[in-house]
Amino acid sequence: MIDDVLWPYSMKTSRMQNWALSSAHANKPPPRYFNPAAKYRGGWDDFECRHTTLFSTILAMDKANGVLTDLQNSGLPLNKLDSHEQTVWHWAVKRGSWNCLHELLLLFKGGKASRWIMGKDRHGVTPLHLAAKQPTAKFLKALLCELGPRDLYNECRDFNGQSPLHYAAAAGSLATCEVLLEDQWKLPLDQRDVFGQTPLMYAVGNKKADAETIRLLGGKKSITVAMRNKRGMTALHIAVLANNATALDVLLNQLKFNATVFDNENRTPLHYAALYGRMEMAQLLIHVGASNDTRDCHNVTAAHYAAQAGHFETLSCILQASGGKDLLDSDNRSCLMWAVIAGRAEVVKKMLTDKNVELFSKSHKDNNQHTALHLAALNGNKEICKILVEDGYNTLERDIYDATPDHLAAGQGHIDAVTYFTFNKGGSGPALLDTLGRTPFFYACLGGQAHVVDVMARGQPGLDANHEDSLGQTAMHCAVIAGSVACVDVLLKHGYEPNAADHNGTTPLELAKEKDMNEIVRLLAERINPVKAIADSSIKKNT
Bridge-partner residues for 325, per DSSP? 358
Distance in angstroms (rounded) separating the CA atoms of residues 258 and 252: 7
Residue among 340, 338, 333 nearest 364 (CA) = 333
Q: Is the pLDDT of residue 415 over 60?
A: yes
**What's the pLDDT at 51?**
46
Domains of the chain, by residue range, sit at: 258-360, 361-427, 443-543
Tell me which CATH homologous superfamily contains domain 443-543. Ankyrin repeat-containing domain (1.25.40.20)
- Which CATH class for the 258-360 domain? mainly alpha
- Tens digit of pLDDT for each residue in 239-251? 999 999 999 999 9
pLDDT on residue 329 = 95
d(CA 250, CA 212): 9
> What is the average pLDDT across 309-319?
97
User: So what's the pLDDT on residue 454?
Assistant: 96
pLDDT at residue 158, rounded to an integer: 96
pLDDT tens-place string over residues 177-225: 999 999 999 999 999 999 999 999 999 999 989 999 999 999 766 677 7
Question: For the packed helices 382-390 and 345-353, what is the interaxial angle rounded to 10 degrees?
Answer: 10
Residue type, 381: N
List the beta bridge partners of residue 358. 325
Residue 288: pLDDT above 80? yes
Q: What is the mean pLDDT of residues 225-239?
A: 93
Please state, as a whole number, how many other Cβ atoms lie within 10 Å of the Cβ of residue 252: 22
Decide if 229 contacts 194 (C-beta within 8 A).
no
* 0.85 surpassed by pTM: no
Q: What is the mean pLDDT of residues 286-294?
A: 95
Q: Is 543 exposed, middle or buried (0-12, 13-18, 19+ CB in 10 A)?
A: exposed
pLDDT of residue 220: 65
Among 110, 172, 102, residue whose Cα is nearest residue 142: 102
Domain 258-360 and domain 361-427, same fold? Reply is yes
Q: Which residue has the higher pLDDT, 461 or 328?
A: 328
pLDDT at residue 10 is higher than 50: no
- In percent, the amount of the chain with pLDDT more than 90 equals 71
* Residue 306 pLDDT: 98
SS3 content of the chain, % helix, strand, coil (to 5): 50, 0, 50
Secondary structure of 340-388 in HEC code, one letter for each residue: HHCCCHHHHHHHHHCCCCECCCCCCCCCCCCCHHHHHHHCCCHHHHHHH
C-alpha–C-alpha distance, residues 329 and 467, integer Å = 39
Residue 204, phi then psi, degrees to nearest 5? -70, -20
Quick check: 451 pLDDT over 70?
Answer: yes
Cβ-Cβ contacts under 8 Å for 450 (sequence gap 6 or more): 484, 486, 487, 489, 490
Q: What is the mean pLDDT of residues 312-323?
A: 94
pLDDT digits (tens, 9 = 90+) for 167-178: 999 999 999 999
Find the helix packing angle between 485-493 and 450-459, rounded to 10°: 20
Quickly list H helices, 413-516: 415-424, 440-446, 450-459, 475-481, 485-493, 508-514
Q: What per-residue confidence (pLDDT) applies to 61?
A: 61
Report pLDDT digits (tens) over 12-28.
333 333 433 343 433 44
Any idea what DSSP says for residue 519?
Answer: H
Rounded Cα gap, residues 163 and 129, in angstroms: 7
Q: What is the pLDDT of residue 172?
A: 96
Tell me: pLDDT of 56 over 60: yes
Average pLDDT taken over every residue of the chain: 86
d(CA 206, CA 373) in angstroms, rounded, equals: 43
Q: Is 12 helix (H, G, I), strand (E, B) or coil?
A: coil
DSSP 431: P
Report the C-alpha gap between 481 and 475 in whole angstroms: 10
User: What's the rounded Cα separation, in Å, for the pair 327 and 303?
Assistant: 8
On the question of pLDDT at 2 being above 90, the answer is no
Radius of gyration in angstroms for the set of CA atoms belonging to the chain, rounded to a whole number: 36
**CA–CA distance, 141 with 132 (Å, rounded to integer):** 10
pLDDT tens by residue, 136-163: 999 999 999 999 999 999 999 999 999 9
- The more confident residue out of 462 and 357 is 357
pLDDT of residue 117: 96
Lowest mean pLDDT among 91-105, 303-317, 350-364: 91-105
3-state secondary structure 8-21: CCCCCHHHHHHHHH
d(CA 108, CA 329): 67
Predicted confidence at residue 459, as pLDDT, reads 81
| Banded pLDDT at 66 (limits 50, 70, 90) | confident
Q: Provide the pLDDT confidence category of residue 99 given band limits of 50, 70 and 90.
A: confident
Report whether pLDDT(301) > 90: yes
pLDDT score, position 268: 97
Query: Angle 191-194-198 (CA atoms, 0-180°, nearest 5)?
Result: 35
DSSP helix/strand/coil, 179: helix
- What's the pLDDT score for residue 138? 97
Work out the number of other CB atoms within 10 angstroms of the CB of residue 256: 11
Query: For residue 417, is pLDDT > 70?
Result: yes
pLDDT-based confidence at 109, cuts 50/70/90?
A: confident
Q: How confident is the model over 241-268, as a mean pLDDT? A: 94
pLDDT digits (tens, 9 = 90+) for 331-378: 999 999 999 999 999 999 999 999 889 999 999 999 999 999 999 999
Say if residue 35's pLDDT is above 90: no
Three-state DSSP state, 292: coil
Reply yes or no on whether the pLDDT at 484 is more than 50. yes
Which element (helix H / strand E) includes 248?
A: helix 245-249
Residue 168: closest CA among 203, 198, 194, 138: 203
Does the domain at 361-427 match CATH 3.40.190.10? Answer given as no
Residue 44 has pLDDT above 60, yes or no: no
**Can you give the pLDDT at residue 424?**
83
The pLDDT, as a whole number, for residue 535 is 43
pLDDT for res 45: 34
